[in-house]
C-alpha cells in the first residue's frame, strides 16, 4: 500500500488528535451516524458502520472516556413513489411499515445484526434511534423553528438550486408527501411551526409542529436534517457533558461540509468551539472511481462494476463468508481508526475483496474481467 501525502494526515499523529480539544473536560463521547433504511446494508454501509464503532472504540482507549454510538435509522427515506397528474408523491419506509405494506424485519434486521456484531466486538454500546424519535427531540425542533423563522437566510444553503426548503408534512389521510414541495408553505409561530401542503386526493391539509412538545411529524430532507443534527450535537455537548462526534462517509465531507453544514452552523450562530467534531470514513469505490452505490447496482445489475452479489447484500455476504468477512473488515477499519494516513483516503472494492478470506465452500471473490 502506498499512501499519498494529504494535508490533514500531516497535522495529526493519531486520528484521536482531532477529538482531543473537544473532549477536554467532558465526561463521555457520543458518536453519531445515520443510514437510510432502504434495504439490506451493502458492503459500503457495512464498512462505514464498522468504522464508526472502530473510531469510537479507539477514542475510548486513547481518551479514557466511555462512549455510546447513536445510530439514526432514517425510516423517513422514500419507499414508494406515486405519480399523479405529472407530480411525484412519496410514502416513507416508516409509513409503509405502519400500513403493513413492507416488513419491518426486511428493513431493520440487517442493520440490527450489524450493529449487534459491532457493539459486541468493540465493547461500545449503541442506541438505535428511529427518525420519528429524532424529529421530535427538543434541540432538533428548536433548530426547525429557527430555520422556519429565517427561511431566506437558509434558502441558499439548503436549496441552492430552487430555493424551496423541504420541511414536508404528509397527508393525514393517505400519507402521500409531495416530492417537489411546490405547494408547501412553512410559517413559524409562537412555539410552533405550521406546515401547509396539498394532497392530490384529499386536498389541502395542515400540520402543526409543537416546538416544546412531541406533537406533529415532518420530513426534513437531507440538508435540513444534516443542519438539525449539527445543532443537536452542539446542544448535547452541554446537555450530556459530552464530546459530540459525527462519523460519516467521506461524501459528507468536502463540498457538503463546505457549502451546507459549515455555513449553516455559522448562520445559526453556534461558536466554532461548540461545533460537533466531524470524522469522515474512507469511501469504498467501484472500478470507475465512483462511490459504490447499491442504487446503481439495482438499476444496471451485474454489469455495474462487475461486483459479486455478496458485496451488495450483507445477508449474502454473511451466508457465503460467515463472520470471517466481518472479522476481516474489522481488522482493517481498526487501522483506519488509528492511523491518519489510512483514514484520509479511499479504497477500491477490489482492495476489500482481497481482505475477505475465501472459505473453501464459498465462491471466490476474485477479480473478474471488466
Ligand atoms: Zn391524501
Tens-level pLDDT at each residue, the chain (370 residues): 888 888 998 999 999 999 999 999 999 999 999 999 877 888 888 999 999 999 999 999 999 999 999 999 999 999 999 999 999 999 999 999 999 999 988 889 989 999 999 999 999 999 999 999 999 999 999 999 999 999 999 999 999 999 999 999 999 999 999 999 999 999 999 999 999 999 999 999 999 999 999 999 999 999 999 999 999 999 999 999 999 999 999 999 999 999 999 999 999 999 999 999 999 999 998 888 888 876 676 666 656 656 777 777 788 888 888 888 899 999 999 999 999 999 999 998 889 888 886 544 455 555 443 3
β-bridge pairing 219-220 and 167-168: antiparallel
Q: How far is the CA of 131 from the centre of ligand 1 (A)?
A: 22
pLDDT of amino acid 241: 96
pLDDT of residue 362: 53
**Residue 95: all three cell numbers together:** 409509513
> Could you tell me whether strands 167-168 and 78-84 are parallel, antiparallel, or unpaired per DSSP bridges?
unpaired
> How far, in Å, from the CA of 148 to the mean position of ligand 1?
24
Cα 171 to middle of ligand 1, angstroms: 5
How does 57-81 read in b/e, with b if 16+ C-beta sit within 10 Å? Answer: bbbbebbebebbbbbbbbbbbbbbe
Closest CA to 340 of 10, 33, 20, 4: 10
- Separation of CA 355 and ligand 1 centre (Å): 50
Rounded distance from Cα 206 to ligand 1 centre (Å) = 12
Q: If you measure from the C-alpha of residue 86 to the centroid of ligand 1, how many angstroms do you get, rounded to a whole number?
A: 16
Which DSSP string corresponds to 228-245?
Answer: HHHHHHHHHHHHTTEEEE
Tell me the C-alpha distance between 224 and 121, whole Å: 33
Q: Cite the beta strand spans of the chain per DSSP E.
A: 28-36, 67-74, 78-84, 87-92, 125-130, 167-168, 177-178, 185-188, 192-199, 203-210, 219-220, 242-249, 277-281, 284-285, 347-348
Distance in angstroms (rounded) separating the CA atoms of residues 221 and 274: 24
Provide the pLDDT for residue 363: 56
Tell me how far the alpha carbon of residue 189 lies from the centroid of ligand 1, in angstroms.
Answer: 25
User: Would you state the cell numbers that stand for residue 92, as one nine-digit string?
Assistant: 416513507
Q: How many CB atoms lie within 10 A of CB 20?
A: 15
Q: How far is the CA of 82 from the centre of ligand 1 (A)?
A: 12
Dist. CA 177 → ligand 1 center (Å): 8
The rounded Å distance from CA 204 to ligand 1 centre is: 9
CA of 202 to the centre of ligand 1 (A): 4
Q: Give distance in angstroms: CA of 166 to centre of ligand 1.
A: 18
- CB within 8 Å of 300: residues ≥ 6 apart: none
Instruction: Give residue 306's pLDDT.
Output: 67
CA angle 19, 24, 28 (to 5 degrees): 80
Q: How many CB atoms lie within 10 A of CB 214?
A: 14
Distance 30 CA to ligand 1 centre (A): 39
Q: What are phi and psi of 304, to 5 degrees?
A: -70, 110
Distance from the alpha carbon of residue 144 to the mean position of ligand 1, in angstroms: 24
Amino acid at each position: 500500500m502506498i499512501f499519498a501525502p494529504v494535508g490533514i494526515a500531516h497535522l495529526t499523529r493519531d486520528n484521536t488528535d482531532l477529538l482531543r480539544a473537544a473532549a477536554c473536560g467532558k465526561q463521555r463521547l457520543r458518536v453519531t451516524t445515520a443510514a437510510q433504511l432502504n434495504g439490506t446494508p451493502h458492503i459500503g454501509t457495512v464498512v462505514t458502520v464498522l468504522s464508526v464503532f472502530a473510531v469510537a472504540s479507539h477514542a475510548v482507549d486513547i481518551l479514557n472516556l466511555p462512549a455510546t454510538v447513536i445510530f439514526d435509522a432514517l425510516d423517513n427515506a422514500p419507499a414508494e413513489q406515486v405519480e399523479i397528474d405529472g407530480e411525484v408523491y412519496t410514502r416513507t419506509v416508516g409509513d409503509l411499515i405502519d400500513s403493513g405494506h413492507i416488513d419491518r424485519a426486511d428493513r431493520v434486521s440487517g442493520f440490527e445484526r450489524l450493529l449487534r456484531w459491532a457493539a459486541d466486538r468493540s465493547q461500545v454500546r449503541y442506541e438505535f434511534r428511529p427518525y420519528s424519535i429524532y424529529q421530535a427531540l427538543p434541540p432538533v425542533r428548536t433548530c426547525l423553528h429557527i430555520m422556519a423563522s429565517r427561511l431566506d437566510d437558509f434558502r441558499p444553503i439548503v436549496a441552492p438550486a430552487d430555493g424551496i426548503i423541504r420541511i414536508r408534512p404528509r397527508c393525514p389521510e393517505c400519507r402521500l408527501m409531495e416530492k417537489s414541495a411546490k405547494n408547501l408553505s412553512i410559517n413559524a409561530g409562537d412555539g410552533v411551526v405550521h406546515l401547509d401542503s396539498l394532497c392530490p386526493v384529499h386536498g389541502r391539509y395542515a400540520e402543526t409542529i409543537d416546538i416544546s412538545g412531541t406533537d406533529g411529524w415532518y420530513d426534513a430532507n437531507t440538508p435540513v436534517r444534516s443542519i438539525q443534527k449539527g445543532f443537536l450535537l452542539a446542544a448535547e455537548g452541554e446537555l450530556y457533558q459530552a464530546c459530540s462526534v459525527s462519523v460519516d462517509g467521506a461524501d459528507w465531507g468536502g463540498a457538503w461540509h463546505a457549502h451546507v453544514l459549515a455555513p449553516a452552523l455559522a448562520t445559526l450562530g453556534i461558536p466554532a468551539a461548540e461545533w460537533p467534531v466531524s470524522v469522515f470514513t474512507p469511501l469504498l469505490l467501484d472500478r470507475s472511481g465512483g462511490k459504490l452505490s447499491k442504487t446503481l447496482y439495482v438499476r444496471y445489475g451485474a454489469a455495474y462494476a462487475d461486483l459479486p452479489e455478496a458485496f451488495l447484500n450483507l445477508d449474502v455476504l454473511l451466508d457465503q463468508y460467515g463472520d470471517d468477512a466481518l472479522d476481516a473488515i474489522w481488522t482493517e477499519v481498526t487501522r483506519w481508526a488509528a492511523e491518519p494516513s489510512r483514514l484520509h483516503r479511499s479504497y477500491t472494492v477490489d482492495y476489500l475483496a482481497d481482505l475477505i478470506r475465501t472459505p473453501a465452500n464459498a465462491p471466490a471473490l476474485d477479480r473478474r474481467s471488466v
